[in-house]
Amino acid sequence: MLVAFFVEHTRANMSWGRCTKMKLQDRLNLNKYEGLWFEQARDANFRFERGDCQQARYSVADDKNDTIYILNSQYRDDQTGFDTASGIAKCEGAQCKVRFSWYMPEGDYRLLYTDYTNYSVVYSCNDILGVAKAEYVWILSRE
């Protein structure tokens, strides 16, 4: 399957160069995308999430359908329990900028493909001073 190949051969990393333009989901419908998603796979080097059972809940925030409320959660361990992070994403089509705190920079969230009911492939790339980039990829599912 193409998605399995993509995850297997694309590793989260930092490298020289700028982020590339990638083909994104055509005509993203945020109303169909909202709801609960479960992380199924992510890059081995993905450093943001360190627990298990990662979940993302998305809710359309406005009538313009360009803003999403986000609630991410993950199970850390028996001592810590669940961690949560809430944020907001502003989207132009399938290209979104995510912010979890006013003092943190926006994160990149590019929806490469979703069928809305089964899975989504998400890619993130952040330019670093115009000479390097940090890339990540992960797969979400409804179950």
Q: In whole angstroms, what is the distance from residue 76 CA to residue 74 CA?
A: 6
| 86 contacts 101 by C-beta, under 8 angstroms | no
Which residues, at least 6 apart from 127, have a Cβ–Cβ distance to it below 8 Å?
18, 19, 133
Q: Tell me: pLDDT of 7 over 50.
A: no
Q: What angle do CA 92, 124, 114 make, to 5 degrees?
A: 65
Q: Tell me: pLDDT of 43 over 90.
A: no
Q: In whole angstroms, what is the distance from residue 134 CA to residue 12 CA?
A: 7
What CATH number does domain 2-141 carry, 2.30.42.10, 2.40.128.20, 2.40.50.140, 1.10.600.10?
A: 2.40.128.20
- Average pLDDT on 109-125 reads 96
- Average pLDDT on 116-132 reads 92
Give me the residue spans of the domains in the chain: 2-141
- Average pLDDT on 114-140 reads 92
Q: Tell me the average pLDDT of the chain.
A: 84
pLDDT for the residue numbered 52: 67
